[in-house]
Structure 1
Amino acid sequence: MKKRVRYYAIRLLLLIICFSPTLSSAQGKLIDGTIVDKDGLPIAGVNVLVKGSQRSAQSDYTGKFSIEANLGETLVISFIGMVTQQIMVTQAASINIILKDNPNELQEVVLVGYGSQKKGDLTGAVSRANLEPFREAPNVSIAQTLQGTVAGLNVGQVNSAGQNPSISVRGQTSLGGNSNVLVIVDGVNFPGGINNINPDDVATIDVLKDASSAAVYGAQGANGVILITTKKGGKNKAPQISFSTSYTTQTPTSNIRPLGRQAYLDKVKNLYWDKAYLAPEYTQPDPTFNLADYLYTTEVDSNGNIIEGDYDWWANGTKTGDIKDYKVSIAGGGNKVNYLLSASYTDQAGYIVNDLFKRTTVRANVGVDVTDWWNVSMQSFATFSDYSGEEPTLANIIRMPSLFSPYDDEGNIVSNPTGNNTLGNPFKTFAIDDYDKSTYLFANFSSDIKIPFVKGLSYKINFGNNYTTTGHYNSNIYGAGETGSAYKNNSTRYDYTFDNIVTYKKTIADDHDLDVTLLYGVTHRESESTSATGTGFTNLNLSYNSLELAAIQKTTSDGWDEALNYQMGRVNYKFRNKYIVTGTIRRDGFSGFAENNKWGVFPSVSLGWVISEEGFFKNINAVNSLKLRGGYGTIGNLTTRYFSLSTMSLYDAYVFGDGGSTSLGQTLNSLQQPDLKWEKTGGINLGVDFSLFKNRITGSVEYYNTKTTDQLFPQPIPAISGVNSINVNLGNIRNKGLEFTLTSKNIDTKDFKWSTTVNYSHNSNKILSLNGLDEDGDGKEDDITASDLFIGHSIGSIYGYEVGDIYQIGDVIPTGYSLGNRRIIDQDGDGTITQADRKILGKTDPDFRAGLLNTFTYKDFSLNIFFNTVQGGKNSYLSANEPTYGGRRDENAQVFNFLNNTDFWSPINPDGVNPSYINAPAVSANKLYARNFVRLQDISFSYNLPKEILKNLGVSSLQLYLSGKNLATWTKWRGWDPETGNGLADNGRPVLKGYSLGLNVTF
C-alpha cells in the first residue's frame, strides 16, 4: 500500500512539473474599460473575451478591466442576466460599456457533466440551485442550503454538530443497491462527506435529475447527480480580499424535556391507578395509598420516605449551542493567471454537552493560460475535521429520575445512581478521553488544449485525487464492565480519477450547431484500516496510549480496492436555435460486479423544441419563450464491492480443554452469485420551460416515469441451509412524479424589488414485481412481508395491525386484553386477532414537498423569507409515535422518567393518547400519526453600506446581516421534530433553531 501511495505521489509531482507554465505574451494593444449597469453602478465579474481567441478578462469591483487586443478584433462582453454586447477594437485606448438587463434565464450557463450548456439548450431535467438567498443562513454544510429549494431534491434535517444530512433525488430507486447521490466537485467524483466543503467556496450547484441528463455518469448516476463548482479568481483583476464572520446561537425547536420531580411522582402514581384510586371508576383518590410503597427501592430511604433529590439532568446535560464561523479569501489575476486562495474555520458546539465539531479548510484554485490555446488549472483544498468529545447518552438523561444525582457527596461520579442495571449514569462520558479527527485532501489537475489547427476541437485531461485519513482513539475507565477499555482505530482511503475528454464544437451555415463530447476514464479506490483494542486495565493514566497494559488485547485490520473503467460519447445538435437533439451512450465496467456481468451499457436520447422561435409564435406577445423537452435514458447503479461473492464471518467456535483458549471458526453468511446483473433505471422525462409577460414570470414543469429493473437485494433463505442470504436480482420498481418551479417578479422598480419563487415536487413509487411475479398476478406468495415489500405498493409501505381507541372502563373487552390496551381491528371479522388481520396501513413517503421563497430589496436593504413544507395527504408520511418505555407496568416503566409531552391513558385521563395498562395485550400495535409540517426554515435581513461611505474607507463592500434557521414549525406531530420522525422515543434528539449575526466585508 505504501508503495502505491509513493507511486501516485510521484505521478502527481510529474504532472505538476509538466503543468508549470512558461508564460508567453500576446501581441496587441492594451485596452482599458469600465462596465456599469443602467443606473451607472459598476458591475464586477463581467467576462470580456477577444472573439476567436482565448484571451479574456473580468471586470473588478469598480467595473474596470484591461485586455490585450489588436485593431479590428471584436470584444464580447457577457454577464449572466445581462444582454451580451460585441464591440470592435478601434484606435481608442479606453471604452465605457453600459450593460442592459436581460432577464431571460435561458441564457444562463449550467453544468451538464463533462461540459456546460446554456439553459435554453437543455433537453434533460437539470436544475440550478439558487444559493444567494441562503448565503447568510447558519449552515455548517452546503447541503443544508439546498433543503426544500430545488424541486425533486430531498435534503434531510440535521440534529447534531457537523452532521451530514441525507440527500436523495426523486425518491428511492433501489431495494438493496447503492442509494447515495453522486457528488461531483469541479468535474471530479467526490466520495467524502459534503460537509468537508467550505460553503463559502461554492460558486454553483447543478442537479441532474433524470436518466437522460445523468446518463453521462452511467453506472454511478441512478440516484441523481449533484455538480458543485467552486469559486475562481478573475483575469486582469486586482487582488480582492474578502472576510466574513458570524456567530449563531442554537436552541431546540420544541420544548421537550423530561418530567420534573413532582411530575415524575405523579407519573408513578398514575401508573398504579388501580391502587391510587378507588374502584370501580378509579377517579376518586384512595386515602390509604402511599406512593413510597410503589416507588423503586432506591427512591425510598431507610425510613420509608421518598428521597429528597431534585436534580435537573436535562439542564446539566444540555446547553445553548453555538456556531462560530470565520472565512477569508483573496482572489484576482493577471492577463495569464487567475487565482483564489481561501481559508475558513468553523467551531460548532451542539445542544447536547460535548456534541462538538471543528472544521478548518484551506483552498487554492489556480488557472494559467500557457498560450492562447492551452490552459492548465488546479482546484485543491484540505479539510481538517475534529469530532473529539463523547457526549452523554441522551436517552439515559431522559430516563434518569430527578430524585437521583450523578455525583456522591464527595463529587465523584456514581456509576449507577438508580440501581437499575439498564440505566447507567449518562455523565460517565465526562471521564472519557476521546480523539476523533480526520484529514481530507482533494486536488484536481486539468489541462485544456484548444487544438490550434482544428477550430472547435479541444482535448482536456482531468486528474482528480481524494485522500482521507481518520484516527479515532478512546479510553474509558468505565468500559468493559468498569474494568477499563481503550482503542485506537486508524484508516486511510485514496481515490483517483483520470478523465480524457475530447470536445468538438462547430457551427455550420449559421443554422446547424454541433457539440460532440467523447470521454475515456478510469477510477481507482483503495482503503486500509487497523484497529487495536484493550480491556481490563489496572490504570488508564496513559489513556489510549497504553493498550499493551490491557489484560485482553485484540487487533484487527482490513483493506480493499476497486476500479471503474468507462467510456462515453455525447452529441448535441441544434438546428436554427429551434430543434435540439442530445444523444448519449456510456459503457461502464466495475470490478465489484459479478464475474459474468462486469460491463454495462447505458444509452439515452432527448429532444427539445423551442416553440417560441417558430414564425407562427412571434405574434404572441405574452410569451417570451417556450420550450418543450422530452427524453428517455437508462442509468445504472453500482453494487457494493463484495455483493456477488460469498462472504464469511468469524465466531468463537471451539474451546479445547477445561479453561482452555477459544479458537475462532468461520461461517458462511451469503452465497456467491456469479450471474448477478446490473441494476438499471430507465424512463422518460417530459418538461416545459417558459417565460411570460416580458420575463416577469419564468418557470418549468417536469413529469417523469422511470422503472428500475433487476433490483439488487439480499434475499433471506431458510436457516437450515446454513446460510443467511443470497444476493439476487429481485424485481422491478416504478417511480413517477411531477415537479414545477415558478419565479415571478412582483415589483421591479429602481429602488424596490419583490420576487417570489415557489417549487413543488410529488413522487410516488410502486413495486412492480418481486421474484418475477408482476402486479397483475395475485402477488401474495411473492410479497416479502418481513421486509415490508408488497407488489403493487410503495417501498415505504407500513404493514401491521390497524388500531382503534383505548379500552375504557365499561367497555366489553375481549379475552387477552385489558383496560388501557389499544383496540386491534378485526379485519376479517372472525372474532379473533391473528396475523391475517394485518394490512397495509399507509406509507412513510410524503405525498408532496414544496418551498416558497420571497425576496425583497429596498435600496441597500434585503430581506429573504423561505418556507418549507412536507405533506402526506391521507395515508402518507406516517410514523409511529409512542414512548420507548411506558405502557405496561414493569420495572423499567416504573423507574424510568418520561418526556413531558407524553399523554398516558388512565381512568382519570380517559382521553390520553398513549396506552397504559396492567396486563400486556395478546397482540399489540402502534398507532400511526401524520408528520405533516410547515416550517419557517430560513430568514435573513441584510444591509449593504452605501458605496459613497465605503469609498473613503478603502472598502469595496460591507454587509451586516441577521439570519435565522428553523424559527417556527407548524405541525400536529407530538414529540421530536416531524422531519426526523423519532416521535416520543427517548433515543431521539431535537432539531435546533438558530439566530445568527454576521459581517461580510470586501477590500
Structure 2
Amino acid sequence: MRNYSKVLKIAPAFLLAGTIMLEAQQRDSIKQKDIEQVVLIGYGKQKKSDLTGSITALSEKDFNKGAITSAEGLLNGRTSGVVVTQSGTPGNDAVIRVRGGSSLLSSNDPLIVIDGLPVEGGLSSINPNDIESFSILKDASSTAIYGNRGSNGVILITTKKGSKKKLQVSFNSFTTYNTLAKNVDVYNGDQFREIINTMAPDKANLLGTANTNWQDLIFRNTASFDSNLSLMGNLFDKIPSRLSIGHTENEGLLLTSNYKRSTASFTLNPTLFDNHLKLNISGNYTYAFRTNADEGAIGSAISYDPTQSPYDAQTPFAGYREWYQQDGAKYFFRGTSNPLSQLLERRNIGNHHRFYGNINLDYKFHFLPELRLIVNAGIDKQEGDGKTEISSFARAGYWNGLPVGNYTETNYDNFNKNLNTQLNYIKNFGKLSFDLLGGYEYQNFDYKNYNSANQLLYVLDPNNNVADTYTDPGVNLQAFFGRLNLGWNNNRYLVTVNYRRDGSSRFSKENRWGNFGGAAFAWKMHEDLFKDNSTINELKLRLSVGAVGQQDIGGYKIDYFKQYDVSTNAYYQFGTGANTYYLIARPKGYNQNLTWESSTKYNAGLDFSLFSRRLSGNVDVYLADTKDLLSIVAEGALQNLRVLGPKNIGSLQSKGLDFNLNYQMFKKENFTLDVNYNLSYNHLEITELFTDNIPQGGVGLGGYVQTHKVGLAPFSYWVYQQVYDSTGKPIEGVYVDRNGDGTIDSFDKYNYKKPQADVTMGLMIDGTFMKNWDYSMAWRASFGNYVYDQVNADRAYFSTINNVVDNTLANSPLDFAKTGFAFANKESDYYIKNASYLKLDNVTLGYTIRNNNFIGDRTSLRIYGGVQNALIISDYKGLDPEVFNNGLDGVIYPRARMYMLGVNVNF
C-alpha cells in the first residue's frame, strides 16, 4: 500500500464523489432524445432500450470539452472499458484500447468505422468538429458481425449531416497558450562541477564555466490555434446539406516541431420517391503539414554537460559545441550530441493528404416496404511525402569523419476501397418483432511506398539520390454476414444471432476463410418484476457470447506465399564473356500454416434507470479467451531461411468489469448539475506460449527487463530483486539469490509488477448556473500501473557521468544522489516504479449571450476559457506517469499544459 501514497489518499474521495454523483443526462430537445434512443450497431441502428450487447453511445453533449483538436480527445475518460493515451507530439495518433485488447504482439487497435467505411490508421487527420456521435462496441455479440477485425472492439463514428431547417451557421475558434508542465530534474552547472571536482578531479579540465539548462533551451512556450466554420441547411429547399471547413495550428513545445491541419467536408442527405429512397453522400478532405523534431534531443538535453555553453565559434560544426576528436582532416564524435544542433541543423518535414467519403443508399421497396436494400460504397485515400535534410556540418551529417550531409525522401500512396450491400427485412408478427439482415462486403487495400535508395552524400556523390519504388502486395478482405434480431411481447425478451464468414488474402487457401458469430439475450426485467414500481424505470439483463478474429500482422501481407528475393549486386557467371553474369535470387522464408487469431468472448450485463431516469447506468462483466495468437518471433537456425517471421504462438485471457453511472443531480432554472462516473477493472494473462519465456523490453547489451510468460500479464517486468542497506539505500550489484544456488545469474530474475493498470476511472462534471454560465470538469485515474524508469536507469550512475572510454562528461538525473551507483544496474527492480495517477484533464468555464438585441434573436455567442492537462497527482517522479511503449519510460515528448480562450457563434 505504501507505493500508492498520494494517489491512494485521493482515491477514496474520488471514488466516493463518483459513486455518489454518478451520471445521467436528460435531453432538453426532441432531437437530443432521438440521438439518445437510437444507437449505431454493426451495419444498422437500434433503439437503446432494445440493445442486447455491450455498446456505449456518446453524442455531442457527452464529449470532452476544452482544447480538443483530435477525434480521440473527445473520448478520453468518457466511458468504461476504453483507454485513450495521447502523445505530446503535435499531430500524433493516440493509442486506443478497448477492454485491454485481445492480442499479444499483433495489433490491439480497435476497428474504426466512419459512416459505414472501415478505415486504417489513427484519427489525427479527422476534424473532431465534424463528429456527431460515437458508438463503441465492446462485447463479441456486437462485434462478431465484423468478424476478422472485431477482436479488439469496434468504434463507429457518425459525422454531422444536413438539416431541413433554414440556414444555420456555426463558428468556433479557440487559442491556447502552451507551457511545459514539468522538467526532468538534473544537476545544474554548479552542482555538476562539485560532483566532478570531488569524484573525478582528473576530469576537471573538461569542465566549462557555463550554467546551461539544456531543457530550457530546447523547450519553449507556444501558442496553438483552432478555427472551424460550418453551414447547415436545406439546399434548394430539397436537399439537407452541410459544409464545414477547419484549420488547426499547433506549435510544439520542442523546438522545430509544428503541426498544421486544414480540413473541408460536405454532406448531402436527400430523400426521394416519397421517402422510399434515402441518400447520404459525404466527402472529407484533410491536408496536414508537419515539421518533425528529432525527439532524441530530449534525451541529449537531460544528459549534456551543464557546464558547457551551447555554442563554440572555434569548431567547424555550424558553431555548436560538440564532443569530438580530430584525426587530420577528419572529425570523429564522442559522447552526447548537442541537443540544439540535433534540432536546428536537421529539417524533417512531411505532407499528408487524405480524402475519405462514401455514398450510402437506403431503398425501401415500394412493393414490399418491410424490405430494404442498403448499399454503401466508400474510399479512403491517403498520400504524402517527406524529406529529411541534415546539414553537412552538423554532427549527424558527418560520414567517416567528413562533412558530407544527409538527405532522404519518402513517399506513400495508400488506397482503401470498400463496398457493402445488405438486405434488411423488418416486420412484426403479433407479439413477435422480426429483423433479418444479410449482406456481402468487399474491401481492398493498396499500398505504394517510395524511398530514396541511400543517403545523399553531398560531397562524395551528388548523384546518389536514386529513388526506389516499393509496391506492397496489399490486402483483400471479403465477407458474407447476417444477423437476426427477435423480440417477444413488446420486445420484453430479445434475442440477437449474427454470423460472418470472412476471407483474407493474408492466409493460404487452406486457412483463408474463417467463421465468426455471436448470440445475445436480453430480458427487460422491470416489465415483469417491477411493472408498478415508479422508482425503477428500467432494469434489463443482458447475456452474450461470440467469436471474433484478428488478421493484422503488420507488413506480412502474403507470408504463406513462396517468394524469391533478387539481389541488386550479387551475380553468378554462366559461361564466359562479358554478358554471362546473372543476378542471383534466393528463396524467402514463409509460413503456409499461418491462420487467424480467434477470440471467444462472454459478457453479462445489467442496465438500469431509476427516479424518472435521473439516475441510470450499467455494469458488465466479461471474459475473453484468444487463441492462435499472431506474433513476429525469431525463427530457429536454418529453419525457415530467415531470422524473424509471423507465427501463431499461444493463447491469452482477458477478464474484467465495466461500470458506468449517470446522475442528473440538479435541474433547475438557474442551476443544473450532471455527473458521469465510470470504472473499469481489467486483467490480462497469457495462458499458453510456444516457449514459456519470451524476453521483451531490451535495455542494451543483451539485457531485458520484460517478458511474456504463461500465467502473467503481457510485458510483465522481469528483473533482479534489489537488496537495500539499513537506511533504505540500494546496494549496488547486490541482488537476492532467489533460487539459492549461491550464484547471481539470470535464473535469479523474477517477474515483478506489470505496466497495465488494474483499475481506471473517469469522472466528468458539467452543468449551468445563472442561466448563461456553463462549466465542466473532467478527471481520470489509473491504479496498479507500473513503469520502468528508463530515464534514470540509462543515466543515473557515475560511469555515465565520467565516461572514461570516450573521455567525456554527461549530466545525470538527481536520482544518482539516492543510489550512488558507479555502473549501470538496469535490470534491478529498483527502477520499477508505481505510476498510479489522478489527472484533471480539463476545466472549462463559459458564458453564453442569446436572444439579445445586440446580437439578434437567432444568434448565440459563447465565450469560454479553461485549462487542459491542468493537474497530475502521482508518486511517480518522472515527466508523466502515463507512458507509451508498453511501460518503458525512456524519453517521451511531454504533454503541454494549455491555457485556453475561445468563442463560439451560432446564427
Where on the TM-score scale, by shorter chain, does this alignment land: which range?
A: 0.7 to 0.9
Given that 1:534 and 1:548 are in contact with CA atoms closer than 8 Å, whether structure 2 keeps it comes out as: no
1:233 deviates by 1.4
1:958–1:1002 CA contact under 8 A, matched in 2: yes
- Distance across 1 between alignment mates of 2:793 and 2:826: 20
Give 1:355's aligned residue.
257
1:492-537, Cα deviation, whole Å (9 max, x unpaired): 111110110211111223x222222111110011011222255465
2-structure distance, mates of 1:782, 1:561: 34
Aligned to 1:974: 877
2:9 aligns with none
Cα separation, 1, equivalents of 2:825 and 2:520: 58
Query: Of the candidates 736, 746, 756, which is equivalent to residue 825 of structure 1?
Result: 736
1:526 to 443, 446, 456: 446
Alpha-carbon shift at residue 898 of structure 1 (Å): 3.7
Contact 2:220 2:254 in 1 (8 A): yes
Give the distance between the partners of 2:419 and 2:227, measured in 1 at CA: 34
Read off the aligned partner of 1:406 and give its amino acid letter.
P
**Are the counterparts in 2 of residues 298 and 418 from structure 1 also a CA contact under 8 Å?**
no
Q: Evaluate the alpha carbon distance shift between residue 432 and residue 676 of structure 1 in structure 2; reply closer, same or farther with a 3 A threshold.
A: closer
2:282 to 379, 390, 394: 379
- Residues 416/407 of structure 1: CA separation in 2 closer, same or farther (3 Å cut): closer
CA deviation map 1:883-913 (0-9, x unaligned): 422324254498454465x2224xxxxxx1x
Q: Give the percent of matched residue pairs that are identical in Structure 1 and Structure 2.
A: 25
Q: Which amino acid aligns with 1:525?
A: F
- Whole-angstrom distance in 2 between the partners of 1:830 and 1:559: 53
Q: How is 1:225-240 mapped onto 2 (pairs within 5 angstroms)?
A: 225-235=154-164, 237-240=165-168
Counterpart residue number, 2:330? none
1:543-582 counterparts in 2 under 5 A? 549-550=462-463, 553=466, 555-576=468-489, 577-582=491-496
Name the residue aligned to 1:841: 752
SS in structure 2 at match of 1:79: helix
Partner Cα distance (2:827, 2:778) in 1: 45
Contact 1:399 1:986 survives alignment (8 Å): no
- Matched with 2:189 is 261
Q: Tell whether the 8 Å contact from 2:407 to 2:455 is kept in structure 1 after alignment.
A: yes
Cα deviation digits, residues 320-359 of structure 1 (max 9, x gap): 1321011101001165310000000000001101111000
Q: Tell me what 1:700 maps to.
A: 618
Shift of residue 630, structure 1, vs aligned partner: 0.6
Q: 1:345 matched to which residue of 2? A: 247
Could you say which residue in structure 1 is the equivalent of 2:428?
A: 507
Q: Which residue of 1 aligns with 2:530?
A: 617
Q: Deviations over 1:385-442 (max 9, x none)?
A: 1013545722222222233333334897335523352423333342334431010011
- Give 1:446's aligned residue: 360
DSSP 3-state at the match of 1:179: coil
**1:368 and 2:270 matched:** yes
Alpha-carbon spacing, 1:472–1:878, altered in 2? closer, same or farther (3 Å)? closer
Q: 1:415 to 1:759 in 2, by over 3 A?
A: same
- Pairwise mapping of residues 465-504 of structure 1 onto structure 2 (< 5 A)? 465-478=379-392, 479-481=397-399, 482-504=403-425
Q: 1:320 aligns with which of 221, 224, 228?
A: 221
Give 1:144's aligned residue: 73
Whole-Å Cα distance in 1 between the matches of residues 67 and 607 of structure 2?
Answer: 33
User: Which residue is equivalent to 1:994?
Assistant: 898
Q: Sort the Cα spacing of 1:928 and 1:645 in 2 relative to 1 into closer, same or farther, 3 A.
A: farther
Q: Is the 8 A contact 1:112 1:208 kept in 2?
A: yes
From the superposition, tell whether residues 360 and 625 of structure 1 become closer, same or farther in structure 2 (CA, over 3 Å): same
Distance 1:716 1:312, change over 3 A: closer
Give the aligned residue type for 1:736: K
Q: Matches of 1:923 and 1:883 in 2, distance apart? A: 8
**What is the rounded CA distance, in whole Å, between the counterparts of 2:126 and 2:134 in structure 1?**
13
**Contact 1:653–1:663 (CA<8 Å) still a contact in 2?**
no
Cα deviation digits, residues 904-944 of structure 1 (max 9, x gap): 24xxxxxx1x4422x66798665311110001111111111
Which residue is equivalent to 2:658? 739
Distance 1:698 1:369 in 2: 36
With structure 1 as the length reference, what TM-score do the two structures score? 0.78
User: Do the aligned partners of 1:243 and 1:329 also contact (CA within 8 Å) in 2?
Assistant: yes
Tell me the equivalent position of 2:548. 635
In 2, Cα distance between equivalents of 1:437 and 1:802: 48
Aligned equivalents of 1:823, 1:655: Cα separation in 2? 55
CA RMSD of aligned residues (A): 3.1
Larger RCO, structures 1/2 (Cα 8 Å, 6+ apart): 2
Aligned with residue 869 of structure 1, among 755, 763, 781: 781
Worse-matched range after superposition: 579-588 or 192-201 = 192-201
C-alpha separation in 1, matches of 2:828 and 2:583:
41
Identify the match of residue 81 of structure 1 among 33, 37, 54: 33
Task: Check conservation: 2:407, 2:456, Cα contact below 8 A.
Answer: no
- Is 131-140 or 836-845 further displaced after alignment? 131-140
The corresponding residue for 1:120 is 49
How far off is 1:788 after superposition?
1.6
SS class of match (2:32): coil
Q: Which moved more, 1:169-178 or 1:519-528?
A: 169-178
Answer whether contact 2:271 2:278 (CA < 8 A) is retained: yes
| C-alpha contact (below 8 Å) 2:606/2:620 kept by paired residues | yes
| Counterpart residue type for residue 788 of structure 1 | T
The 2-side partners of 1:152 and 1:954 are apart by: 43
Q: What CA distance in whole angstroms lies between the structure 1 residues aligned with 2:583 and 2:197?
A: 52
SS, match of residue 673 in structure 2 = strand
Tell me: CA distance 1:357–1:701, structure 2 relative to 1, closer, same or farther (3 Å). Answer: same
Q: Aligned partners of 2:86, 2:552: CA distance in 1, in Å?
A: 27
Can you give the 5+ residue segments of structure 1 that lack an aligned partner in the other structure?
1-42, 47-77, 83-104, 276-290, 300-306, 540-546, 772-780, 812-818, 906-911
8 Å Cα contact 2:101-2:109 kept in structure 1: no
Flag structure 2 segments of 5+ consecutive residues without an equivalent.
Answer: 1-25, 325-332, 574-580, 697-705
In the alignment, does 2:304 pair up with 1:400?
A: yes
Which residue is equivalent to 1:198?
127
Larger Rg: 1
Equivalent pair of 1:184/1:228 in contact (CA under 8 Å): yes
* Distance in 2 between residues matched to 1:187 and 1:554, nearest whole Å: 37
1:274-313 alignment runs, 5 A limit: 291=201, 293-295=202-204, 298-299=206-207, 307-313=208-214
Choose 922-931 or 695-704, whichever is displaced more.
922-931
* Offset at residue 369 of structure 1 (A): 1.9
**Structure 1 residues 400, 957: closer, same or farther in 2, change over 3 A?**
same
Counterpart contact for 1:963–1:996, Cα < 8 Å? yes
Q: Does 1:784 align with 2:694?
A: yes
